[in-house]
Amino acid sequence: MSEQAPHPAEAVDPVTAEQADNAGTPLRVTATPAALELIAELKSEHGPVMFHQSGGCCDGSSPMCYAVGDFITGDGDVHLGQVGGADFFISRSQFGVWKHTHIILDVVPGRGGMFSLENGREKRFHIRSRLFSQAENEALAGACQL
């Protein structure tokens, strides 16, 4: 019997923060310790920051980090929650596809998106994910509706 290498997503501990809010509702987005460390670094340099999950335009599908006020959200965006004190948004159309998915913000080696604040640090934000369980989907019913 041959041994298989672990799937890359399995190599990361998915327990990244509290998995539910005070009311017991599962969190839609959490962050790894590496992501929280980079968020703190960016906040110390740029002040408050926020994230928008890119829809695949200029920088692919990378999570983009901006100083608060440098990216304007609107009715076409859904607020998923906060990571490291930073609001995290996704476009309404993408939320329709990702609504059954727990998003885990992580950091990997590489270049950040050209407009994202981590650019030039040789590390970038990266999304990992897992599907919510049936129980989590039921608990989330009615939250972040389209």
Q: Tell me the backbone φ, ψ of residue 103, rounded to 5 degrees.
A: -95, 130
* Beta-carbon count within 10 A of 109 CB: 9
Angle at 18 between CA 133 and CA 129, to 5 degrees: 45
Please identify which residue in the block is written with the tokens 């080696």.
109
What pLDDT, on a 0 to 100 scale, did the predictor assign at position 8?
39
Identify whether the C-beta of residue 79 lies closer than 8 Å to the C-beta of residue 88: yes
Chain centroid offset of residue 138 CA: 21
pTM of the model: 0.82
For residue range 59-115, list pLDDT tens digits in order. Answer: 557 899 999 999 999 999 999 999 999 999 999 989 988 999 999 999 999 886 678
Average pLDDT taken over every residue of the chain? 83
